[in-house]
Amino acid sequence: MVRLTLRRGKEESLLRRHPWIFSGAIFGTDGEPEEGDVVDVYTAEGAFIARGHCGIGSIAVRVLTFDEAQPIDASFWIDRIREAYGVRKALGLTDSAETTCYRLVHGEGDSLPGLVIDIYGTTAVMQAHSVGMYLVRDEIAEALRTVYGPGKLTAVYDKSAGTIPPKSGIEAVDGYLWRADPADPAEEIVLEGGNRFRANWEDGQKTGFFIDQRENRALVAKYSRGRRVLNTFCYTGGFSVYALLGGATAVDSVDSSEKAIRLCAENIALADPAVPHREIAADALDYVRNMPQDAYDLVILDPPAFAKHHKVLGNALQGYKRLNAAALAKMPKGSILFTFSCSQAVSREQFRTAVFSAAAIAGRRVRILHQLTQPADHPVNIYHPEGEYLKGLALYVE
């Protein structure tokens, strides 16, 4: 195995178990590791410190283990996935009658940096964010089958084409790594909090459905009774369905993607609401700026990540400010705003500041009802706080 040696003193973050090693921390190597290889990392003094997947970008190594005696073999993948499964079992997600989709592996949060696995009924959908994880996808599929056992898993779908680093040169093609029956459909009606949704992993964004808003949707349902609700950036209409079933008097869902609007309409049809719902294909900022004053008593703003990396942080914060100010300016007294950021590069504090400046710009007094985040099946590694990517606020608007 290739050995990488750190520059003197660069082991500090690893001693604290941060799972990444940046390229600037590397002093040298005794070979020429290829992207995705498993490498051993040593301190300048020659002590073993970590073993992980090698990358060619700014993250030189994603650490898999700090234990020198732990080989990265089939039983390693089984053990880590079994551990992740144990956590979801403790959360009541693995055999819930109400919720049949959950995140099984959340990268660094599950000590598997570069790997995401979501479960939809009996299908596992994996996304590799590193070449190392992509190269072992078959071993991961095998480990999933071992951990779940026959019956509880019927397919493993790899959806890494859009997530592995573009510079790697690998031409990944999405597809099944394993399937009990090739005639099974590429979608499943899943349950979330007792509500039915169509999840399509072959066609949808991310792994098919935004699982990370589960608990925030339940909160929206709670506040929707008797309110006219606007759900912007609605995608498959998760918030809209909860609002409708929570007793909203009417719900409008806005997304700029025609496909998202179609998926939203399908989910609304499954919910079969008794009150009016409209799907509107439009740019959300334009829509909010041009909507009539006081038209909605509850507004949801859940845009895509405005900042994919730190370089565009300033623009992203401006974007959040503009969007929130436009919405707040139009909301009636006594209304509620649910506003989110899923940008990893934007900190909780920066997001709050952007939203509070938006309130000042709109001349509105707001108070915080809830500070929102991702649910527990998206755990955060305490040594990798960046993993806490979803931030939200529920505000009472006066």
Just list the catalytic residues.
Answer: 342
Binding flag, residue 338, ligand SAH (CB under 6 A): no
CA of residue 342 relative to chain centroid, distance: 8
- Looking at the Cβ atoms of 284 and 331, the one nearer to ligand SAH is 284
- Rounded to whole angstroms, the Cα distance separating 288 from 114 reads 36
**C-alpha torsion angle, residues 209, 78, 149, 157 (rounded to 10):** 30
Q: Using CB under 6 A, which of the segments 68-76, 83-91, 96-104, 231-239 binds ligand SAH? A: 231-239
The SS3 call for residue 22 is: strand
Site string for ligand SAH, 242-271 (x = CB under 6 A): -------------xxx--x-----------
Which listed residue (77, 134, 148, 239) binds ligand SAH by CB under 6 A? Answer: 239
Q: How far is the CB of 244 from ligand SAH (least distance, A)?
A: 14
Q: How far is the CB of 263 from ligand SAH (least distance, A)?
A: 9
- Rounded to whole angstroms, the Cα distance separating 381 from 312 reads 25
Helix runs in 225-341, H state only: 238-245, 258-271, 284-290, 313-330
**∠ CA(344), CA(346), CA(350), 5° rounding?**
155
Site string for ligand SAH, 287-326 (x = CB under 6 A): ---------------xxx----------------------
Q: How far is the CB of 345 from ligand SAH (least distance, A)?
A: 17
What are the structure tokens assigned to 67, written together? Answer: 């234990």
- Looking at the Cβ atoms of 165 and 303, the one nearer to ligand SAH is 303
Site string for ligand SAH, 187-226 (x = CB under 6 A): -----------------------x--x-------------
- Rounded to whole angstroms, the Cα distance separating 142 from 78 reads 8
Q: CA nearest 302: which of 347, 268, 351, 258?
A: 351
Q: Using CB under 6 A, which of the segments 128-136, 230-238, 319-327, 354-362 binds ligand SAH? A: 230-238
- Rounded to whole angstroms, the Cα distance separating 391 from 342 reads 6
Number of residues forming the site for ligand SAH (CB under 6 A): 17
Residue 384 near residue 20, CB atoms below 8 Å? yes
Which listed residue (219, 284, 331, 345) binds ligand SAH by CB under 6 A? Answer: 284
- Rounded to whole angstroms, the Cα distance separating 39 from 30 reads 11
Site for ligand SAH, rule CB under 6 A: 210, 213, 233-236, 238-239, 255-257, 260, 283-284, 302-304
